[in-house]
Amino acid sequence: MTTRPRRLNAYLEALPDGMRSFPKCQVRGEVLDSTLEWLAEVDGQPSPALRDWVRSHRPLGRAMEWVPEVLLNSVFLDVADQGYPSDQSCLDDVYRRQREVYKTTFYRALLMVLSPTLLTMGAADRWKAYRRGTELKVDKWDKAGASRVTTATLIHPPGLYTTLNVASLAQALVAAIDAAGARDARLELLRDGAPGETRFRLLYSA
């Protein structure tokens, strides 16, 4: 399935300096590689606006150690444009793909000893291991009746992420919480964040 790159084009047009925007915001190259593999799975190729950038950051067919997060965000939106008729269908596949990752031997062993609470407590450190120029802060868990609840704040330059980019990160986190044994996990986007802050509320049944 290939559609007009409306999500990608809107993102590129909104960037203050095009693909050179936010140069201090970087992500590890293997994340870009896996997203490009996903693009190939939906029978897509990088859009013309991205081809030179993809090529320059994958000189030997694999990404360099660190790549611009703007490039990663753009490739993800390219996947959404070329492979999915709606945002929700794309997010559903984000969740499905992440759950498949957590079924591998390594993650199964890890999740056997990590509760959903412990998993999210380490989320900020895992974020630092894979990203530069942005920060994830996770508050302590509280009880809310039969549920547990926490809030998280993603600190980033305004304009780095689209709503769909943020929602995909949220879906990946929900998939991890579910894989660790949570029931009825859900993540809500809060509207009270300051510019450059995206806040979430995460809940699951204990």
- The confidence score (pLDDT) of residue 179 equals 83
Domain count, the chain: 2
Query: Tokens 């330059």 map to which residue?
Result: 157
Does residue 104 lie within any of the structural domains? no
Split at pLDDT 50, 70, 90, the class of 43 is confident
Same domain, 11 and 69: yes
Question: What's residue 41's pLDDT?
Answer: 95
Whether residue 159 lies inside any domain: the answer is yes
pLDDT at 74 over 90: yes
Average pLDDT, the chain: 89
Q: What is d(CA 134, CA 187) in angstroms, rounded to the nearest whole number?
A: 20
Could you say which of 83, 100, 125 is where a domain stops? Answer: 83
Among candidate residues 136, 134, 138, the one with its CA nearest the CA of residue 69? 134
110 within domain boundaries: no
Distance CA 47, CA 175 (A): 29
* Per-residue model confidence as pLDDT tens digits over 123-158: 888 899 999 999 999 888 888 777 888 899 999 999
Q: What is the structure's pLDDT at 159?
A: 96
Determine the pLDDT at residue 206.
Answer: 66
Q: Does pTM top 0.75 for this prediction?
A: yes
Can you give the pLDDT at residue 111? 64
Over its C-alpha atoms, the chain yields an Rg (Å, rounded) of 17
Q: Which domain holds residue 122?
A: 115-205
So what's the pLDDT on residue 4? 61
Average pLDDT for 26-39 = 96
In tens, the pLDDT along 79-120 reads: 999 999 999 999 999 999 988 987 877 666 666 656 777 777
Tell me what pLDDT residue 204 has. 86
What's the CA angle centered on 85, arms 174 and 94, to 5 degrees?
Answer: 20
Domain contains 103: no
